Each structure stands twice: as structure tokens, then as C-alpha cells.
Amino acid sequence: MNAPLDPRTPADLALSRPAPAQPCRLPAGGLVDRGRGLSFTFDGRRLSGLAGDTLASALLANGIHLVGRSFKYHRPRGILSAGTEEPNALVELRSGARREPNTRATMAELFEGLEARSQNRWPSLGLDLGAVNGVFAPILAAGFYYKTFMWPPSFWEKLYEPLIRRAAGLGRAPEGADPDHYERMHAFCDVLVVGGGPAGLMAALAAGRAGARVILAEEDRELGGRLLAEAEEVDGMPGPAWVQSVEAELAAMPRVRLLRRTSAFAVLDHGVVGAVERVADHLPVPPAHLPRQRYWKIVARRIVLAAGAIERPVVFGGNDRPGVMLGGAVRAYLNRYAVRPGQSAVVFTAGDDGWRTVADLARAGASVEAVVDARSEIPAQQARLAARLGARLVAGGRITGTAGWHRIAAVEIGDDRGCTEGRGADLLAMGGGWTPAIHLSCHRGGKPRWDDALAAFLPGTTPPGMSVAGAAAGRFTTAAVLADGAREGAAAARDCGFAATEPQVPRAEDTPDARVALFHVPASRGKAFVDFQHDVTAKDVALAHREGFRSVEHVKRYTTLGMATDQGKTANVTGLAILAEIAGRSIPGTGTTVFRPPWTPVAIGTIAGHHRGKAFRPTRRTPTHAWAAANGATFVEVGPWLRAQWYARPGETEWQQSVAREVAAVRNAAGICDVSTLGKIEVTGPGAAALLDLVYANTISTLAVGRVRYGVMLREDGFVMDDGTVARIAEDRFFVTTTTANAGKVLQHMEFCHQVLRPDLDVSMISVTDAWAQVSIAGPRAREVVAGLVDPGPDLSNAALPHMAWRAVGVDGVPARLYRLSFSGELAYELGVPPDLGEAVMRRAVELGATPYGTEALAVLRIEKGHPAGGELNGQTTARDLGLGRMVSTKKDCIGRRLAERPALTDPARPVLVGLKPVDARTPLRAGAHLFMPGAEPVTANDQGYVTSACVSPTLGHPIALGLLSRGAERVGERVRVLDPVRGGDTEAEVCAPCFVDPEGVRTRG
């Protein structure tokens, strides 16, 4: 007996079990909501967290440090940071079509039911067979891929790449099309403030109070920056409370917009900034009518960059072991999230900053085992703190190694006399100093400058309109950061014309950090990682240098340092410092790090927004679309247009049957076809004729009012651009048609010819494509059909309205135009009526006996007549090639005339338009097939031309084609081999004149 299948997923099942308590959550404090517990799963294990947690803080609250495997060596990795710079803790979120790989656990907000999985591990996170790569570490050093997988080339695709992709690599792509939608916003402001920490808040306050339109973009869910993570007071109150008071004031300002969860990722030209707002990433599913993310294109008159700073890891052996964290991150987990990331901690610092970590850990009840301070002189107050906590203090110390497997268990400490000692610890807080987040100041080519005193790169030349404030500008005390923000915010508002004054700067911590530069511990054991995400070690940098790479840009590419999805936020400066150390040069003498957009990875779908699928561009429908749909039309996309391709009738099982019937109707009776998609341009003014003489290769100015002329226009390089008809409506008014494809291009070209080449001409032009429904009525009975369509009165006789003439008519009393034009070679008219009359015209024409026909029949009719169209007007043909050479007037100047006379374009051996019919009168010819002399070897050197258009002619009863054949005009009656190696066609055809039906044009003129 089968048990019913349980529809619940493993994650559902995990969520149905009670979650364990969070062993590392502090009993009080933090900015998390203790009243709102949340359940989530990690690798199928049910866990709990609190509202306000990130996935990272919730994992740490549960005592989980091991969250992933590294890219190359599959080393166990933990959570390094508490913010946007995270290189290690990349996880997969959600499942199915919403599965999202490579998401930073430090940025993912916890929500009820969140499914998260570690990635890049096989078969499981704890037991990863790929870690064997670590055993082969000596051969996986820098440049390994380049050196090893070069030869033979054919092995790359079949063998090497799949292996590498299996072994190295990040998460998995989602399993279906993205079910969510994304949108784009355009916004304009006076002052854009990037970053909502203390500097950004003061800048927004200064500009907002002055009345400027301000946008403040903060990457985090909450404003406040480091003030949320530090245990310090501002203006006599806890940092977060001060943040709330400023936030309340800003929120009340109608001209200030606060964008939380918004990363400004690119600074573009002229004050344009691209930003992504994660509208619904923190929710299981986006609410109805809300996008998942929103792409903001912000045009700002002034930008204040207040992006803060990023703490640098120190490079020493085993610095990647889970449980090794940045000191600032440890404080963030303690103070903001009320999570104690370790019970027995060692702190490794090079200045006062690490002693804040010591104090915060002690306050949270962690045991501080040792403080390793790279400075040889320790301030007395700090030494007293260590003594009070019973922590071993190692002055002039270094961490020289770590032990443990899935989590750190002990560290090895070296002092400046060369002695080492071991210490047990489950947390190592490290910090080599802070790197200003100057990235956005470099996006337009600005070069950072090195500051020796701060041991940091600061913004050098900034883009016009951008100033940098706070830690991003190298201010490292809260008081200095607040003052800087106030100053830059006010200055930005003043630049925009507002009378801004600097807000009073609140009292805050103002002790400068006394520190020594600390990047690297050369004498340490084990792999010392510079770039955690790409597994680049200090040894790799040294190897690159040994192999002759000197430029930092080359070293980056050779080692892939800084080229992972985090773009080396925690790695670039350290890598540069190590390279400088090895090369015996200064850091600025070694190079700089420059940054390009995006600041953080941006999904392509976010930038595309709603411009995807059917909304990529609007679909254009002809005025008779609904009628055609109701009358059995099959539609074809022609550029943005939908056109009726054929009208199937009951009993017709193959499209060829419908097309053959429609062609026969035109040849024997009458047909009607919507040709409204042709571009239509009205050209008016005293200079209209002169302009058209310049634009068209043939002369237009001699055209009489009431007459129509076929026209061909060239590009200035002598090739054909487009063709169409020109009707002279009045002395100073012309109605021009273009091909469907070139409607926009031709109008733009005419405007160019007028405004740039002949501004002296008094002429104007406008597109009227949408102003007319235009139908072609063709066939021996076309005149009677037309007579039944138009209001009584006009003389439609051949004498009164001959071929290539037009006249004004009425349809239902509405002015309309009747042109006698033929594309099919039959007696034919084009009737132009206002668009809302289009369907009535179609309906009545059918009642009068006309057969509706689509674009397929239209194409067959024109191939039978040898008229060039898309296949022939391919940008590589001249008027002469198409048999239109005599149209190019030699009596006047025109665009393209001079270069059409180039020897290469008048070479008699050029392929010219010919007709082709299969010798066996049966085998279809195909467009794209190439032409050879019979018996000649089918190689490029013997290529004589190609087939441009082909069809089966219902009128002749056999296949026909048009083609371009070298010296074709002289070769009528000869045979050519028509070879189609791609699709497997090989037949012989006879060369003939391109016009297969009524070459004398008797029917057209009838």
C-alpha cells in the first residue's frame, strides 16, 4: 500500500519542526525586534532568528560560522564582515525560479520562511570532496589555468572547462524564468547624498534644511551606518537614538526623499547616478503590484559621496578560517544584532580601533583571551583594560597561524622578539585599518591619491559636481565625520543656489585612532589570503612578481585578485601593499586601485525593467488589424509591425495554397492588401523640390503636380539606401513613401540633408505614417473595385488617371487620396484614407469582389515582376547592380552620386540583378544559395553571386528566384549551379531577365 505523497518540500518539513533557541543571542540590547521571531532554514536545518537580523547575524546567533566553501580550494569559509563588502559568505537564497545564487548573507535580510543554502560544496558543507584541491594547492597557484589548460585547444571546451566549472565556481542559476518584475524610475534632485551614515545624515540635513531637493540613498535597511554598530553616544544619546531624531526631521521635509535598501552602483556622465532599490528582496514574495527591485536613474546637480569606509583584513596564515572576523564586524554583531560571535576571543589590531572590540566583547560577556597589538608601545589605559580583563597582551605582536577545521580553535601568536605561543580561541577579531570607500569617485576616471599618514587611498580628482565627506574622505572620528557631512551638505546646497548654513555639529567621540600600518604578516604559517572570494594568497602575488608581472593591473589579471563579484573591496589595497613590499617600492609608486561600475553586482533584469519580452518595444498594428484577424489572417512580425501574412480559407491546409490563391486572384481578378506600414513623409515648402532632388538619385523637381514617380535614394558612399514613391500634391508639397524597415531612417536622413547640408532651403517634413490607412487594390478588376469604394464623381479612366498619377477622392465624404501605382505589375491603385476608415475600405472591397492578400502574396507578386526589395536592398548593392543605373541623374548633384562613380562600384564584373529558374522546373531555389559556373570547384574564388529572393510562382507554375550574378545582364540563357551547402541544395538554373511576368508592362498600364 502506497502512502500518499507528502507535497511539502524538505524546507517546509524543516520549518514545521520547532526551532532551537539561539545560543549566541545576547539576553538584551541590539536593534533586533525580540517580539518577532522568524523561522528559516539553512541547508535544510530549521533555525530561528529575529526581525532585524540579516541571514549572517541569524546564523551567528545559532552558533553557525561555517557557511560556504571557497572558490578554488574549497576551504571552509565563514562570515568575515557585517556588510556590503562580504567576500566569503555567499549563499543561495530561495528555490525554483526565484533561486538566487551568490547572495551575501551579510546583506540578506531575514524573513519568515527564508530558505538558504551553502554553495560550492559537494556532497555536503561539512564533507567536501573538492577540498582535495587544497592538497593540490601547489599546482593551483596563480596563473594555473593559463599555464595548464592552454593546449591542445580542442580540449578546452570538452574537458577542461567542464572540469573547472565543476570544481571551481559559485552558485547555481535559477531553474526558470524570473517570475518577478522590475521597474525603472527617473528622478531629479539638487543634492544626491550617497550613504546614510553620520556624514550622509548631516549632509542631507544641511541641504534639506536649506530647501534643496535631496535624495539620500542608503544601502542598508536602516539609516545610521556605523552608528548602528558602535557603542557610542552622539549628542548625549545612544547613536541609534540620535539617528532616529535626524531621520524624523528628514522624513518630515517634503523635498527630501529617503531611499533605504538602495545601492548607488554607478556614477555616469553629467551627474547621472544609477542605483538599485531592493524593494522586495526582504520579503518572501513581492507584494502585488510592487517590483522586486527598482532601478533608479538619478540626475543630480551635486553629489555628496558619504559611503564610509571598509575594514581591511590582515593577511596571515589561516586568516580565512571560520571564526576569523573583522573587528568592526564583531562590534556590529554585538551592538546591532545582539549576537556574540564567540565565547573566547583573541583580538588582533594595529591601533586603538581593536580596543573598542575588546571593550565591546567584554561587555557582552565574552572572554578576551589575548590582545595582539602590532604597536610596540601600548597606551597605558589600554594596557590597564587588558589587565582588568585578564587578557594576555602581546605588544608588537602578530598572528602567525590559526588552527581548527570548520571553525577556528586556536591561534599562534608571535611577538617582536621572535617568540611564539598558542592560545585557544573560537573567535579572532582582526583589523588592519579602514579603507575609505572611494569607489564612486573613480567611476568617471578619477585617480585616487595615497595618504601616507592615514595609510589609505583618498579621492583624488572627483567628477564635476561630486564632493566626498566623512570616512570616505579619510575622516575617522565620529565628530570629524559629522562636521564634514554638515560642511559638504551645506556647500552642495549653496552650489545649487540655496542659502544653506551648516547645522550645528552634535557632540561625539573625537579621539583620533593611533595606529601603525599593518597589511601582512610575512612570517606566518599556512595559506594567507588576500582575496578571499577568488582564493588569491600572498604567495600568488609574490609568484606573479617573480614571473615578471610589475604593473598592478597585470598582477590583478594574472592572479585574478580583485576580480570576483566583490571586486576586491577587502583585497585591493592589501594586495597592492604586498606587491609594494615585495618590489621594494612605495604603495603609490606601485600603482593605484581604480574602480569601475558597478559598486555591487546588479541583475541585468533590474536594468531592463519592464523592457523585456513583448514590452521590449511596442507592437505596431495596422489600421485593419482587427478586420484581418477576424478574416483568417496569420500575422508576421515585420520590425515592430504585425502584418497579415496570408488569409487561410476553409480547406486550405498548407500556407502555400492560400498564397497561390491570393496571387491568382490578383493576376486574374482583384486583390486588396494593407500597405499602411510603408513609411510616409509629407515634405512641404518652397524648397521641397530642391531638397528631394538632393535626397533622391533621380530628378524629382520635374515631376508635375498630380503625378507620381518611383524614386531611389543612395547613401553618400554610393550604395542604395531605400526606394519608394514620390507624389506631387502641390507645387510646394510632396508625399513620399519609404520601405517599412527604413521609415525612421529616411526621415532622419532627410532632416540631416535639410538642416546640415541645405539649411538655406525653406522646407519642412513630418512623418504621416500613422495618419493614413493605405491599401493596395491590384488586378484586372481593380478599377471597378476602386470605383465602388470612392464617392461618385471622379473620372477613373486610363486617360484621366493613368499609371503613375494620383488624384484627390472622397470616401464617405472624407478627403482621401488615390494613387495609381503598381508593385504587382497589374492594374493597381493605392488608396489612402484616414485610419478609422481602413477597415470599412477592406470590408467593402471584399464585398466588391476583391480578395484580401498578405505579405507572402505581395512578395511573390513582386518577385514575379523582378522589383527589388529587402533581399536586394541589402546595403551592398548600387542602383546599377539593381538595374536602376539609368535613374541616377547625371544632370544634378545628389547624395551618393559622386561615390557611386567609384571604379569598384562601376566594375562591369559586379554581380547584378538577374532572374533564375531551375532547369528542371521543379527544384525550389533558396535565398542565400550561392552561384557558380557549372563544373567549377565551389570555392570562394569561384563564387559568382547569390540568390536574394525566391518563391514558387503560381502564375508560371514553377520555382523562380532573383539573384545577384557577376556580369549577369550579359548571361541571359546561360546556366549556373545554385549551391546551398548549409541546407543541402544543389541544382542548376537558367539565367533570365529579372521580370518574369508581362515584361512590357501592358497590364500595369491597362
Partner 1 sequence: MRIPCPFCGDRGNEEFTVLGAAGLARPAPEADDAAWHDYVHLRDNPAGAHRELWHHVFGCRAWLVVERDTRTHAVLSVTPAKERAA
Residues in the site for partner 1, rule: CB under 8 A? 186, 268-272, 297, 299, 444-445, 464, 716-717, 748, 751-752, 755-757, 759-760, 893, 897-899, 902
Shortest approach of partner 1 to residue 465 CB, angstroms?
11
**Which residue, 271 or 436, has its beta carbon nearer to partner 1?**
271
Cα separation, 622 vs 838, in Å, equals 9
Q: What minimum distance in Å lies between the beta carbon of 181 and partner 1?
A: 21
- 796 near 840, Cβ under 8 Å? no
Nearby residues of 413 by Cβ (< 8 Å), 6 or more positions away: 346, 370, 372, 394, 397, 398, 399, 400, 420, 421, 422, 423
Peptide bond into 20 cis (omega under 30): no
* 195: Cα separation from own chain's centroid: 24
Between 702 and 748, name the residue whose CB sits nearer to partner 1: 748
Give me the least distance between CB of 758 and partner 1, in Å please: 10
> Rounded to the nearest whole angstrom, what is the least distance from the CB of residue 269 to partner 1 in the complex?
4
Q: Which is nearer to partner 1, 744 or 815 (CB)?
A: 744
Q: What nine digits make up the cell of 209?
A: 534644511
CB of 684 vs partner 1, minimal distance in Å: 15
Host H or E run for residue 48: strand 45-51
Smallest distance, partner 1 to C-beta of residue 843, A: 36
CB 142, min distance to partner 1, A: 34
CB within 8 A of 850, min separation 6: which ones? 665, 669, 670, 671, 672, 777, 779, 781, 782, 785
Answer whether the bond into residue 123 is a cis peptide, omega within 30°: yes
Report residue 558: phi and psi, to 5°: -70, -40
Task: State the greatest distance between any 2 C-alpha atoms of the chain, in Å, as a whole number.
Answer: 116
Q: Give Cα 948 distance to the centre of its chain.
A: 35
Tell me the C-alpha to C-alpha distance, in Å, between residue 901 and each of 637, 878, 906, 907: 37, 10, 6, 10
Compute CA 612 distance to the chain's CA centroid, rounded to the nearest angstrom.
Answer: 12
CB of 716 to partner 1, least distance (A): 5
Closest distance of CB 751 from partner 1, Å: 6
Copy the grid coordinates of residue 579: 606587491
- Taking the C-alpha atoms of residue 277 and residue 220, their distance in angstroms, rounded to an integer, is 10
Closest contact distance (angstroms) between CB of 693 and partner 1 is 12
CB-wise, 270 or 886, nearer to partner 1?
A: 270
| CB closer to partner 1, 124 vs 748 | 748
The answer to whether 379 and 410 have CB atoms below 8 angstroms apart is no
Q: Which of 829, 825, 777, 771 is nearest to 798 (CA)?
A: 829
**Cα 673 vs. chain centroid, distance in angstroms?**
40
Q: Which residues pair with 422 in a beta bridge?
A: 412
Cell of 831: 488608396
What distance in Å separates the CA atoms of residue 643 and residue 649, rounded to the nearest whole number?
Answer: 17
Closest approach of Cβ 753 to partner 1, in Å? 10
What distances in angstroms separate CA 283 from CA 39, 55, 603, one per listed residue? 13, 13, 18
The string of DSSP codes covering 894-923 is -TTHHHHTSHHHH-TTSEEEEEEEETTS-S
Question: Whose CA is closest to 540, among 551, 529, 525, 526?
Answer: 529
Nearer to partner 1, 446 or 448 (CB): 446
CA 819 to chain centre: 47
* 271 or 871: CB nearest partner 1: 271
Torsion sign (Cα): 848, 853, 859, 864: negative
CB of 773 to partner 1, least distance (A): 24
Strand stretches in 268-316, DSSP E: 272-277, 293-305, 309-311
Cell numbers representing residue 797 in the block = 479612366
Q: Euclidean distance between the first and final Cα of the chain, in Å?
A: 84
How is residue 487 annotated by DSSP?
H
Pairing state between β 620-621 and 641-647: parallel
For partner 1, the closer of residues 654 and 893 by Cβ is 893
Contacts of 354 (CB under 8 A, 6+ apart): 327, 347, 348, 371, 373, 429, 431
Three-state DSSP class for residue 379: coil
CB of 344 to partner 1, least distance (A): 55
146 vs 752, beta carbon nearer partner 1: 752
C-alpha cell at 418: 621572535
Write out the three cell numbers for 734. 510632396
Q: Which is nearer to partner 1, 792 or 875 (CB)?
A: 875
Helix, strand counts (H, E) of the chain: 27, 50
Rounded to the nearest whole angstrom, what is the least distance from the CB of residue 890 to partner 1 in the complex?
10
Strand partners, 75: none
Least gap, CB of 892 to partner 1 (angstroms) = 8
Nearer to partner 1 among residue 419 and residue 766 (C-beta): 766
CB of 898 to partner 1, least distance (A): 5
CB of 899 to partner 1, least distance (A): 6
